[in-house]
Amino acid sequence: MTGSPTPQRPLVDSFGRRISYLRISVTDRCDFRCVYCMAEDMTFLPKKDVLSFEEVEAIASAFIARGTTKIRLTGGEPLVRRDIMALVRNLGGRIGNGLDELTITTNGSQLQKHAEGLFGAGVRRLNVSLDTLDEARFAQITRRGRLGDVLAGIGAAQAAGLAIKINMVAMRGVNDDEIETMMDWAHGGGMGLTLIEGMPLGEVGIDRVDTYLPLRELHDRLARRYSFTKLDKRTGGPARYVHVAETGGTLGFITPMSHNFCESCNRVRLTATGQLYLCLGQDDQVNLRDAWRNGGAAALDAALDHAMVIKPKGHDFVLDRTRAEPAVARHMSVTGG
């Protein structure tokens, strides 16, 4: 991957952080209902409110012109959106022309169908959200998914040449007895594993206080059995990585609750309706859909300038018995994590 030329007006927020990473939620819909992400009975956006692919491309182009070099497509589940591959191909065509990398976060359910097309469009890495290898537990966590479909999708993606990183939300009393199994499986299959702390986003019908597992506790537990070497590896996101000597693989930790990573934040998130969220854990936002529809490229550029002014210093998640409501009302599926 070659670095992109420095833009004349890079996106730099009021804290001096350069924004080079855009996450785009192409839909809030998903074929799963994971217990930490969604309520079981969800009301999804009317399709008329969702950005067209042409609008997504226009907004993405404005970001690329201002120095964004990495775009990740998310959801909901991005691969359930109709004709999604047309968008992937068009954005993939920008790789080497301002964009360094196009990646996708997926639950894996649709990968058998799309793996070869993703690789052909220029995608080289995927994050697959997978929290267990136990079929019954998988059905319980996702409320409706089938583990076999995801495993087959991962196999198809690897066969197509895509690198896979598994994202696992670690939950006390739910899947914390399976961490070592997941790590051995992922590393044995040539995949990385990243552990994620649960975040208080949206009402989902589970007790997040009971299931919250600080990753420092998990790190210390694993370090008693495995030999870790800290890595300087960066993939554009907030994970901190170690190399595991016994498995030969990479283990990541994303700790938004116990140790936030706001000082190095380089990313913003675009929802499927065109709202640009400046922080996953705050409500600060700018309406890029209206800017584009009402004023075109000039208004969109001005909206990006405003976004840099209001981007907050960081989030302040709180999770305890005295604060039962979620820190942010919107569900994780709205902004794609």
Count of CA atoms in the C-beta half-sphere (13 A) of 211: 18
Q: Pull the structure tokens for residue 176.
A: 């914390």
How far is residue 127's CA from residue 216's CA, in Å, rounded to a whole number?
A: 22
Residue 169 labeled ligand binder: no
Whether the CB-CB separation of 150 and 108 falls below 8 Å is answered with yes
Residue 332 labeled ligand binder: no
Residue 289 labeled ligand binder: no
- Report the chain's C-alpha Rg in angstroms: 19
With the C-alpha atoms ordered 31, 35, 37, 38, is the resulting torsion angle positive or negative? Answer: positive
Coil, strand, or helix at residue 229?
strand
From residue 77, alpha-carbon distances to 30, 37, 165, 220, 334 in Å are 5, 12, 16, 33, 10
Q: Pull the structure tokens for residue 77.
A: 């589940």
Whether the CB-CB separation of 99 and 71 falls below 8 Å is answered with yes
Residue 93 labeled ligand binder: no
Residue 165 labeled ligand binder: yes
Residue 271 labeled ligand binder: no
Alpha-helical regions (H) of the chain: 53-65, 84-92, 111-120, 135-142, 147-159, 179-188, 208-211, 215-223, 288-310, 332-335
Residue 21 labeled ligand binder: no
- Residue 211, number of CB atoms within 10 A of its CB: 18
By the 10 Å C-beta count (0-12 exposed, 13-18 middle, 19+ buried), 50 is classed as buried
Residue 279 labeled ligand binder: yes
Residue 268 labeled ligand binder: yes
Residue 209 labeled ligand binder: no
Residue 76 labeled ligand binder: yes
Residue corresponding to tokens 């995949």:
191
Residue 67 labeled ligand binder: no
Residue 68 labeled ligand binder: no
Residue 194 labeled ligand binder: no
Residue 143 labeled ligand binder: no
Residues comprising the binding site for [4Fe-4S] cluster? 30, 34, 37, 262, 265, 279
Residues comprising the binding site for S-adenosyl-L-methionine? 36, 76, 129, 199
Residues comprising the binding site? 23, 30, 34, 36-37, 72, 76, 105, 129, 165, 199, 262, 265, 267-269, 279
Residues comprising the binding site for GTP? 23, 72, 105, 165, 267-269
